[in-house]
Amino acid sequence: KSHPLLKIINSSFIDLPTPSSISSWWNFGSLLGICLAIQILTGLFLAMHYTSDTMTAFSSVTHICRDVNYGWVLRYLHANGASMFFICLYLHIGRGLYYGSYMYKETWNIGVILLFTVMATAFMGYVLPWGQMSFWGATVITNLLSAIPYIGTSLVEWIWGGFSVDKATLTRFFA
């Protein structure tokens, strides 16, 4: 334990005082961090071979799965990692509700903002393969905003980048 790095690791993980009432429910924040790191890493590698054009987006995903070395592993790790991320996220929220974390209003409000940000990011990632489910998912979900009085229709057209879900929409969701 004479090396400075070993001292830091020892004091941070091994000799760190923890309450005796701690349970495994407190692990989901750390698991969220691990899932997020995996999502960012696999997403960056997938983005290296992805093209955000309506004519080639679907084929680029097929190209990643078939032609890129271990591209299929990256894609399925990324897709299943998103599911694991949301499982950990909902368990983290459930633990927060059970233990009354909503009493800390600022922390809770930041968590709610992060939840909506993560959901929006996941939706944009869902649209990127540009299959039929992606296209119609983008059409239906973005059209929900048209229910907002006065600004809804303009907001939807602004998100679309035109009058329908098209190349501009896909480019905006990838950017």
Average pLDDT of the residues in 49-53: 93
75-119 confidence digits (pLDDT tens):
999 999 999 999 999 999 999 999 899 999 999 999 999 999 999
According to the model, what pLDDT value does residue 39 have?
A: 97
- DSSP state letters, the chain: --SHHHHHHIIIIIS----TT--GGGGHHHHHHHHHHHHHHHHHHHHTT----TTTHHHHHHHHHHTSTTHHHHHHHHHHHHHHHHHHHHHHHHHHHHTTGGGSHHHHHHHHHHHHHHHHHHHHHHHTT-SHHHHHHHHHHHHGGGGSTTTHHHHHHHHHTSSSSSHHHHHHHH-
CATH homologous superfamily, domain 26-174: Cytochrome Bc1 Complex; Chain C (1.20.810.10)
- Residue 47 scores a pLDDT above 90: yes
Q: Report the predicted TM-score, pTM, of the whole model to 2 decimal places.
A: 0.85
How is the chain split into domains, by residue range?
A: 26-174
